Chains A and B, each alone.
Chain A
């Protein structure tokens, strides 16, 4: 499968591989730098040296003295570190899912919320907040679980609708079915929310998304899905290249189009649903990151998919740094930051790449 794809497009594949290694190292360095900035910057000042020594003090047999007091330690390792980790997981997942959806539907404007994930998750979370608010108090399980279930249910409905519309126009039908599901779930969600105005604030804070209350618990909930989902997508990067040629061409090259598409959609959906469940709805990441990589590195999915994972993670970590520092010690909703900085950045990338050609 991979070999056929390679021979079919020998020239770009060599180019992609050559650029890939250098770009891979650069993006990996970008992610590491973003994580370091994420840990070091916040409303409470903790020096970089103290952070490193504090981290080393947890390593057994090193006997490094813990330089931080109880409060700084709590701020750093219980509040800031899980925030950074969760932003990285969610950012990577949204970017890689966005890239994959764009490939599988051959539509550059697809985002990870395309098949109704956002609407379904929003409805699930709203129902949980409104009808199980007391249950939500005990552990932070109810709302993420309901959002996850809602997202999956919405995508299943979308897939069912799309299939019934006919397999020949599968991609087009699926996108339309996704719009249908999203509109309907949004309508029900708004209705439920208007019936319970006392919970309005809770519903809105969830919908706006963000990492202000991230815990290691949230990281543990979403990590397995993000790991599995992004692994499947990275393994399908060559298939995505073949699929981008068209269903018939891909089939003639020996790809089981239906099965490949289902595997990619399931992996991207599961991962996105888990990300949305713990962080709410964060827009733009799934579109901006893959396109930036296409413009700066390569349009081949062999580069776009794995690099989206790394850049998306770093991008959202940095975005969250802005969200928690620009109005410090107040918070800014992260969706505002992704859109405000993401959109002009995308425009600049678009312009410079045109000028270069």
Chain B
């Protein structure tokens, strides 16, 4: 009679131990992870930032447009038409977005998930601010400071590499072959401001949106001295296609081969790779 009682008691004790252990486990792992360790990034720029500052290991999923770095866990999640259920399926403890259609952030917060918005930066200051902020959020303050410091010093050196006589070039930044452009108010425009370039799109932005569609004859008549193509991947544009456009052969940038074939992705994001972009622009600005 005693034996079964002992056996039952032992079984009960064991069960209790298992239950208490499993209950303690999350508490202990939370204590271990003071910082989020299941991050979902729905912004290609944020993804680049996270991996640059050393928070890559904490990222469990990134959106389908986050194509850099290659080791980022790219999924079918969309940052443009986000699906709350699909995002929640990754059990994230932090979701980072740059764009919030249909109040996705509010819906995710209802599920108890922390959401932080990192909207498109308008200048380097904001971009640096976002990188430092991500550092604090993820526990990589040092890494973030190092990234910002390196960006600052490299950009300064790149600007200095362009002789003073080439600091006032008229620039035309092309977003697509129908001549949508970006003014000095945009992030990419702020990079041209660093060099001291004069942006031909500024005169066309009466609405102040930053991305006017320029008229072809205005571009030809403005005679830009450097053209930056941010539509090489989307639309296959190149020096050859620009030079073959009717009337464009008269443009200084075309005559002096000062046409930059930029990587569309790098030119449309506000992450650390903007340094590479600036380096290419500087190289083309120096030549010819």
- Most chain B beta-carbon contacts within 10 A, residue among A135, A137, A197, A215: A137
Q: Are A212 and B221 neighbours in the complex by a CB distance under 8 Å?
A: no
Give the residues from 221 to 243 in chain B that come closer than 8 angstroms, CB to CB, to chain A.
Answer: 221-223, 234-238, 241
How far apart are the CA atoms of A136 and B81 in the complex, in Å? 27
In this assembly, does B180 line the interface, its C-beta being within 8 Å of a C-beta of chain A? yes
Q: Produce 1/0 per residue, B63-92, CB < 8 A to A.
A: 011000000000000101100000000000
Q: Are B205 and A330 neighbours in the complex by a CB distance under 8 Å?
A: yes
Give the residues from 170 to 229 in chain B that come closer than 8 angstroms, CB to CB, to chain A.
Answer: 175-180, 203-207, 212-218, 220-223
In this assembly, does A349 line the interface, its C-beta being within 8 Å of a C-beta of chain B? no
State which of A70, A134, A202 has its C-beta within 8 Å of the C-beta of B176.
A202
Give the residues from 131 to 162 in chain B that come closer than 8 angstroms, CB to CB, to chain A.
Answer: none
Q: Are B250 and A205 neighbours in the complex by a CB distance under 8 Å?
A: no
A328 shortest CB reach to chain B, Å: 7
Q: Are A136 and B80 neighbours in the complex by a CB distance under 8 Å?
A: no
- Chain B interface residue count, CB cutoff 8 Å, equals 39
Q: Are B217 and A43 neighbours in the complex by a CB distance under 8 Å?
A: yes
In this assembly, does A302 line the interface, its C-beta being within 8 Å of a C-beta of chain B? no
State which of B176, B179, B221 has its C-beta within 8 Å of the C-beta of A331.
B179
B260 shortest CB reach to chain A, Å: 17
- Nearest-neighbor residue (CB-CB) of B238 within chain A: A137
- Chain A interface residue count, CB cutoff 8 Å, equals 38
Give the residues from 65 to 93 in chain A that come closer than 8 angstroms, CB to CB, to chain B.
Answer: 70-72, 74-75, 78-80, 82
Q: Are B235 and A71 neighbours in the complex by a CB distance under 8 Å?
A: no
State which of B217, B223, B234 has its C-beta within 8 Å of the C-beta of A202.
B234
Taking CB atoms, residues of chain B closer than 8 Å to A64 are none
Q: Are A198 and B203 neighbours in the complex by a CB distance under 8 Å?
A: no
Give the residues from 318 to 342 in chain A that come closer than 8 angstroms, CB to CB, to chain B.
Answer: 324, 327-331, 333
Taking CB atoms, residues of chain A closer than 8 Å to B203 are 329
How far apart are the CA atoms of A216 and B234 in the complex, in Å? 24
Taking CB atoms, residues of chain A closer than 8 Å to B78 are 197
How far apart are the CA atoms of A205 and B214 in the complex, in Å? 13
Q: Are B81 and A212 neighbours in the complex by a CB distance under 8 Å?
A: no
Q: Are A205 and B220 neighbours in the complex by a CB distance under 8 Å?
A: no
Q: Produce 1/0 per residue, A187-224, CB < 8 A to B.
A: 00000001001111110010000101101100000000
In this assembly, does A44 line the interface, its C-beta being within 8 Å of a C-beta of chain B? yes
State which of A137, A198, A213 has its C-beta within 8 Å of the C-beta of B178.
A213
How far apart are the CA atoms of A142 and B201 in the complex, in Å? 29
Taking CB atoms, residues of chain A closer than 8 Å to B217 are 42-44, 75, 79-80, 324
- Most chain A beta-carbon contacts within 10 A, residue among B81, B203, B220, B222: B220
In this assembly, does A133 line the interface, its C-beta being within 8 Å of a C-beta of chain B? yes
Q: Are B236 and A78 neighbours in the complex by a CB distance under 8 Å?
A: no
Taking CB atoms, residues of chain A closer than 8 Å to B80 are 197, 200
A263 shortest CB reach to chain B, Å: 36
How far apart are the CA atoms of A300 and B17 in the complex, in Å? 94
Q: Are A43 and B218 neighbours in the complex by a CB distance under 8 Å?
A: yes
Taking CB atoms, residues of chain B closer than 8 Å to A327 are 204, 206-207, 212
How far apart are the CA atoms of A200 and B68 in the complex, in Å? 20
Q: Are A201 and B234 neighbours in the complex by a CB distance under 8 Å?
A: yes
In this assembly, does B26 line the interface, its C-beta being within 8 Å of a C-beta of chain A? no
Q: Are A82 and B246 neighbours in the complex by a CB distance under 8 Å?
A: yes
Taking CB atoms, residues of chain A closer than 8 Å to B214 are 329-331
Q: Produce 1/0 per residue, A125-137, CB < 8 A to B.
A: 0000000011111
Taking CB atoms, residues of chain A closer than 8 Å to B246 are 74, 78-79, 82, 215-216
Q: Are A213 and B179 neighbours in the complex by a CB distance under 8 Å?
A: yes
Q: Are A70 and B215 neighbours in the complex by a CB distance under 8 Å?
A: no
Q: Are B213 and A212 neighbours in the complex by a CB distance under 8 Å?
A: yes
State which of B65, B178, B236 has its C-beta within 8 Å of the C-beta of A205.
B178
Give the residues from 135 to 192 in chain A that come closer than 8 angstroms, CB to CB, to chain B.
Answer: 135-138
In this assembly, does B163 line the interface, its C-beta being within 8 Å of a C-beta of chain A? no
Q: Are A71 and B220 neighbours in the complex by a CB distance under 8 Å?
A: yes
Q: Are A79 and B213 neighbours in the complex by a CB distance under 8 Å?
A: no
In this assembly, does B247 line the interface, its C-beta being within 8 Å of a C-beta of chain A? yes
How far apart are the CA atoms of A43 and B219 in the complex, in Å? 10
Q: Are A329 and B204 neighbours in the complex by a CB distance under 8 Å?
A: yes
Q: Are B65 and A198 neighbours in the complex by a CB distance under 8 Å?
A: yes
How far apart are the CA atoms of A215 and B245 in the complex, in Å? 9
How far apart are the CA atoms of A215 and B249 in the complex, in Å? 14
Taking CB atoms, residues of chain B closer than 8 Å to A213 are 177-179, 216
How far apart are the CA atoms of A327 and B206 in the complex, in Å? 7
Q: Are B238 and A194 neighbours in the complex by a CB distance under 8 Å?
A: no
How far apart are the CA atoms of A252 and B25 in the complex, in Å? 90
Taking CB atoms, residues of chain B closer than 8 Å to A80 are 217
Q: Are A71 and B176 neighbours in the complex by a CB distance under 8 Å?
A: no
Given contacts A71-B250, A329-B203, contact A134 B215 (CB under 8 A): no
Q: Are A44 and B235 neighbours in the complex by a CB distance under 8 Å?
A: no
How far apart are the CA atoms of A86 and B47 in the complex, in Å? 45
Taking CB atoms, residues of chain B closer than 8 Å to A74 are 220, 246-250
In the assembled complex, 9 residue pairs joining A and B whose CB atoms fall closer than 8 Å, in A order, are A70-B250, A71-B220, A72-B221, A197-B64, A199-B234, A201-B175, A213-B179, A324-B215, A328-B204
Please list the 9 inter-chain residue pairs (A to B) with the smallest Cβ-Cβ separation, ordered nearest first: A137-B236, A329-B218, A74-B247, A78-B247, A330-B204, A78-B246, A330-B212, A331-B213, A44-B221
* A interface residue numbers (CB < 8 A to B): 42-44, 70-72, 74-75, 78-80, 82, 133-138, 194, 197-202, 205, 210, 212-213, 215-216, 324, 327-331, 333
Task: Taking A75-B220, A133-B236, A331-B179 as given, write out 12 further A-B residue pairs in contact, using a Cβ cutoff of 8 Å, ordered by the A residue number.
Answer: A43-B215, A71-B250, A74-B246, A74-B249, A75-B221, A202-B176, A202-B235, A213-B179, A215-B245, A327-B207, A328-B204, A330-B213
* B interface residue numbers (CB < 8 A to A): 64-65, 78, 80-81, 175-180, 203-207, 212-218, 220-223, 234-238, 241, 245-250
